[in-house]
Amino acid sequence: MVTVSDMQKWQDAVKGINDSAKADLSEEESLALNTLVSLYNSGDFESGESGDYIQTLKKALPQHANNRLLKVHLTNFVALCEKYFKAQPAPAVSQPLVVQQPYAEKEFYYFDCNEQKGPVGINQLKSLGLMPETLVWTEGFDEWKPAKDVAELKTLFGKIPPPPQIITNTSGRTKKSGNVFIKAIIIVGIILAGGYFVVNKSGWFGNSSGGISVNTDDGADVYVVGIMDNTSVLWKNGVAQYLIDNGTWSVANSVFVSGSDVYAAITEDNPSGIPFAALWKNGVMQYLSEGSGSYSWANSVFVSGADVYVAGSIDNRAVVWKNGTAQMFGIGSCNSVFVQGGDVYVAGEMNGDAVLWKNGIAQNLTSGRGAAKATSVYVSGSNVYVTGTQDEWEGAGSYQYLWINGERHSLETSEANSVFVSGNDVYVAGGYQLWKNGEIQQLAEGQAYSVFVAGGDVYVAGHIGSNRAVLWKNGVMQTLGSGSSAEAISVFVVQRNVVAETRPQSQPQAEPVQPSISGRFPQASERLLTAADVQNLSKEDLQIMRNEIFARHGFIFQTQAMRTYFQNQSWYVPRHNDVNSLLTSIEKENIELISRYE
């Protein structure tokens, strides 16, 4: 079964080839392309002729070096063909002729853009920027191996640093610690327990029995969106609700909850089979490109205050909709959006490179060498985390990366689809793995699309096999639904009010503010503020000052930005969904004053 994400990649690749001068293809290449598209559309992935056509296109890639966009889209098309078509000839990689050297240093042959090169020594390999997945061979090997699997070469690949540690100083402000590294652990045979997970006899993320409902008695509401029976679906605490029931194909790619409102980014086929982007909110659909006749996708949704952002693409051009109005970028796609402190961060791809946009300004995370994309973005404090992938060497597979404030770190995961930060812990979900601070934790064979952490619990949404949508919570796999093309693609968790006492309670009674008041702006709870206290503060500082008042009483924040900020404050203890009855008269007047200037 072709996954939803690969279905979009396939359509983007085919359209990209057509848009970037398909006339540059030779007659033989055009025949191969059209035949493979026809086989894909018919679902015939076992066709014996597919392998030869794939090889035809692979051999043609170097000939299109002058048309970079065509080469990028053609490379993506070939990669998808190799992933799904089964009848491919074995790679014609012959054992190289060994040249005897007069000295003892071991030398290696390696593949660079499908060309065998070498032999060279280990030091020269290091200077060439050898990648972990590059195929290498030396005397004594029975077959070619990825460089990362060769003991002598493992030292060439650096260790992955941890996220910058957030330390609260005496003023309540945050700062980064330096030079702290977490060793990446290679999983061999057994998996070591770590983080929030527990190993039992059934194994890491082992298969549980099907049909287990999501536990709703743990003080959290769990929202998951995806696709089932070729229709977009929302699961709330394990109960499924189809979002579209008109018989058309649709998929929900992202979910976000703000207060009592639930949002989903949806892509739906129109009667002509053309996909177009939509925003679903509490059962009401808003079509973002209806009537345009264009191909469009909605990949991610984020809500900040009264503003709703949707990231996606229109006719292979990257786009972000803000409250329904589109802002267009270059050729590519916007895959993830995150808003904090008034700044809008978008991860995606443009002109074949992985890109991070901040307030519309693009920062290239990669440059050439192979098709690349940024898949997810998360902002914690002043740190920006981005995941992505790049095809470094044509035909040799893709490599997964985590960028922290623009600095790239290699991941040992098979894919990197989603990133989430909780305190000092960084999580990346992709393939059948969950990465946490350099440690890889194996999931059951399948695909992980989304990770979310709330209340100390780790949630991962994905699918097993071809028709089983699942959710892992702290390592326990739960089946959400099964059917044609069932996939859980995005997860969002909202913590409910947790009552500490066992006796019945009405509204919490007003409680005095403790003599030692925490936060950057303790005066907002100590005395009445004046205009002079607030008029020179930035909008971000005003927002922190106002919300610190609520946080001191244990308010459970609904917006992701505030929730993330206060989870990093050592004094903050979330307890109540409503703290209005706990506010003092001084605090209420200060909130009103701050809001006027904010």
| Three-state secondary structure of 462-503 | EEECCCEEEEEECCEEEEEEECCCCEEEEEEEEECCCCCCCC
Q: Which residue has the higher pLDDT, 1 or 462?
A: 462
Q: Residue 396 — very low, low, confident or very high, per pLDDT cuts 50/70/90? A: low
Radius of gyration of the chain (CA): 26
Most confident of 190-194, 464-468, 553-557: 553-557
pLDDT tens per residue across span 308-320: 999 999 888 899 9
**Cα–Cα dist 350/368, whole Å:** 11
Q: What is the pLDDT of residues 85-126, one digit of tens each?
A: 875 444 444 444 443 333 345 788 876 644 677 888 877 776
Contacts 24+ apart (CB under 8 A), 267-274: 267/8, 267/296, 267/297, 267/298, 267/312, 268/232, 268/244
- The confidence score (pLDDT) of residue 152 equals 78
| Mean pLDDT of the region 421-429 | 90
Q: How confident is the model at residue 281 (pLDDT cuts 50, 70, 90)?
A: very high
- For residue 443, name the pLDDT band (cuts at 50, 70, 90): confident
Q: What pLDDT sits at residue 280?
A: 95
> Which whole number is the average pLDDT over 468-494?
87
Residue the block writes with tokens 């892509």: 267
Residue 122 and residue 109: Cα distance in Å, rounded?
A: 11
- Measured torsion, CA atoms of residues 322, 324, 329, 332, in degrees rounded to the nearest 10: 110
Write down the pLDDT at residue 193. 27
pLDDT tens profile 13-53: 887 787 666 567 888 888 888 888 888 877 777 877 788 88
| Interatomic CA distance for residues 52 and 179, integer angstroms | 51
Question: Which residues in 500-532 are b (16+ Cβ under 10 Å) and which e?
Answer: eeeeeeeebeeeebeeeebbebbebbeeebeee
d(CA 196, CA 572): 21
Predicted local confidence at residue 78, as pLDDT: 85
- Predicted local confidence at residue 197, as pLDDT: 27
pLDDT number for residue 1:
61
Sign of the torsion formed by the C-alpha atoms of 511, 516, 520 and 525 = positive
Please state, in angstroms and rounded to a whole number, the distance separating the CA atoms of residues 507 and 579.
9
Q: For position 269, what pLDDT does the model report?
A: 84
Question: The dihedral of CA 403, 409, 415, 418: what is its sign?
Answer: negative
Highest mean predicted confidence (pLDDT) among 72-76, 158-162, 371-375? 371-375
Is the pLDDT at 220 greater than 50, yes or no?
yes
Closest CA to 36 of 67, 12, 70, 10: 10
Burial of 567 (0-12, 13-18, 19+ CB in 10 A): middle
Least confident among 209-223, 410-424, 480-494: 209-223
- Which residues have C-beta within 8 Å of that of residue 539, sequence separation ≥ 6? 341, 342, 598
Q: Please report, for residues 197, 331, 427, 461, 492, the alpha-carbon distance to residue 458 in angstroms, rounded to integers and kept in the order given.
A: 9, 35, 9, 10, 11
- Position with higher pLDDT, 59 vs 130: 59
Query: Best-predicted range by mean pLDDT among 38-42, 149-153, 266-270, 292-296?
Result: 266-270
The helix (run of H) or strand (run of E) holding residue 198 is none
Name, in order, each residue with C-beta under 8 angstroms of 205's C-beta and a sequence gap of 6 or more: 434, 441, 442, 443, 444, 472, 475, 477
pLDDT for the residue 218:
59
Return d(Cα 362, Cα 374) in angstroms, integer: 12
**In this model, does residue 54 exceed pLDDT 80?**
yes
pTM score, whole prediction: 0.56
**Apex 456 CA angle, 451 and 462, nearest 5:** 20
pLDDT 10s digits, 198-217: 222 222 223 332 333 444 44
Per-residue pLDDT, 180: 26
Q: Of 506, 519, 471, 520, which is closest to residue 492 (Cα–Cα)?
A: 471
pLDDT at res. 481? 83
CA distances from 501 to 346, 504, 510, 537 (A): 43, 8, 16, 39
Burial of 442 (0-12, 13-18, 19+ CB in 10 A): middle
Candidate from 205-214, 242-251, 478-487, 510-519 with smallest mean pLDDT: 205-214
pLDDT score, position 111? 67
Q: Which residue has the higher pLDDT, 205 or 60?
A: 60
Q: What's the token pair of residue 158? A: 């650096």
Q: Would you say 108 and 122 are in contact if contact means Cβ atoms under 8 Å apart?
A: yes
pLDDT given for residue 20 in this prediction: 62
DSSP for 540-593, please give it. HHHHHHHHHHHHHTTB---SHHHHHHHHT-TT----BS--GGG--HHHHHHHHH
Q: Which of 135-144, 376-385, 540-549 has the lowest mean pLDDT?
A: 135-144
Which has more confidence, 199 or 295? Answer: 295
Q: Sort 173 into a burial class: Cβ within 10 Å, 0-12 / 13-18 / 19+.
A: exposed
Pairing of strands 325-340, 343-350: antiparallel
Task: Identify the pLDDT of residue 252.
Answer: 94
Look at residue 350 and give its three-state secondary structure: strand
Q: What span, in angstroms and rounded, lies between the C-alpha atoms of 557 and 565? A: 10
Question: 537 vs 483, which has greater pLDDT?
Answer: 537
Of the candidates 406, 415, 407, 409, the one whose C-alpha atom is nearest the C-alpha of residue 451 is: 415
Whether the Cβ atoms of residue 117 and residue 128 lie closer than 8 Å to each other: no
What is the structure's pLDDT at 375?
96
**Mean pLDDT score across all residues of the chain:** 76
| Runs of H (alpha helix) within 86-157 | 122-127
- Please give the single-letter amino acid code of residue 118: G
| pLDDT band at residue 503 under the 50/70/90 scheme | very low
For residue 469 the two structure tokens come to: 């949508």
Confidence of residue 349 (pLDDT cuts 50, 70, 90): very high
More confident residue, 595 or 189: 595
More confident residue, 396 or 371: 371
State yes or no: pLDDT of 260 exceeds 60: yes
